[in-house]
Amino acid sequence: MLLFDTHLHLSKEIDPVPFFGEARAQEVGLFLVAGTSSEDGEYVSSLADPEAGVYAAVGVHPHSAEKFATEELSVFRAWLSLPGVVAVGEIGLDFYYDFSPRLKQERVFATFLELAAELRKPVIIHCREAFAQCYQLVKEGFPRELPFVVHSFTGTVAEAEQWLELGALLSFNGMVTFKKADNIRTALEAVPHDRLLLETDSPYLAPVPYRGKTNTPAFLPVIAESVARQLQLETEQLACLTTANACRLFGIPI
């Protein structure tokens, strides 16, 4: 069994060697570290090591949108040319916290969708309480032939179906184990198996029974077991199909 944690965050304060080593001991062998700003882009891109199964994405999270200046795009282009930096992300809209003005979020999101289209890179999307605007920007500003993922999916079945119509993959994390997350489990069942991904979003959203603790990719098997049970699949079967989906999305040879 080989699991792919398709979305995690890693700060400079954590030694990556034991961090990834602990996960590998739990049969998590592939990782994608997602960037959130120009401040962490250099570090995130430096972690990319395809031979070790570590990949990266760089982008500007909606929380950081207010600080972004268009002149910084050249730096992102440079990072996205590096081996193992396989996607643009995490980008999108967050109208729940509104840490950046909504109009600025939309402008930055559109800018990075355009950059991804130019570079022919897949996109990792953050969408919270902003489905209509997020969907419209992707529909109008991102080529249909390029793949993308809506990470940490928490939307409705109707929203899942609309994303799927655009060609999206949907990614699920530890929230699928939460007692009150019936809506997420219901949406999960509506996702075709070839559009499904797994992630931890560590250090956030640790699954039950680790909820409240710092999340880590080593907890991904717990998420996989929960998702497999919900879909009435064997965990190894789920691991094979979600890893294949992720490699296809990010252009990684299996």
Average confidence (pLDDT) over 149-166 = 98
- Give the C-alpha separation, 29 to 217, whole Å: 10
Q: What is the pLDDT of residues 118-147, one digit of tens each?
A: 999 999 999 999 999 999 999 999 999 999
Mean pLDDT across 48-60: 98
**Backbone torsion region of residue 199, taken as left when φ is above 0, otherwise alpha when ψ lies between -120 and 50, otherwise beta:** beta
Please give the average per-residue pLDDT across 85-106, as a whole number.
97
What's the mean pLDDT when you consider all of the chain? 97
Does 96 score more than 80 pLDDT?
Answer: yes
Mean pLDDT of 164-191: 97
Question: Residue 40: pLDDT above 90?
Answer: yes
String of DSSP letters for 149-193: EE-S----HHHHHHHHHTT-EEEE-GGGGSTT-HHHHHHHHTS-G
What pLDDT score was predicted for residue 211?
A: 96
Q: Which strands sit side by side in the sheet containing 169-172, from one edge to the other?
A: 3-8, 28-34, 54-58, 85-94, 123-128, 148-150, 169-172, 196-198
**What mean pLDDT comes out for the span 208-236?**
97
Give the type of residue at 65: A
Report d(CA 44, CA 51) in Å as an integer.
Answer: 16
Q: In the predicted model, is pLDDT for residue 70 greater than 90?
A: yes
**Type of residue at 128:** R
Q: How many angstroms separate the CA atoms of 32 and 158, rounded?
A: 28
With 0.85 as the threshold, say if the pTM is over it: yes
Arithmetic mean of pLDDT, 242-246: 98
Secondary structure of residue 8 in the 3-state scheme: strand
The whole-number average pLDDT for the span 241-245 is 98
Mind listing the pLDDT tens digit for each residue in 14-23? 999 999 999 9
pLDDT over 90 at 254, yes or no: no
Residue with tokens 């590998």: 24
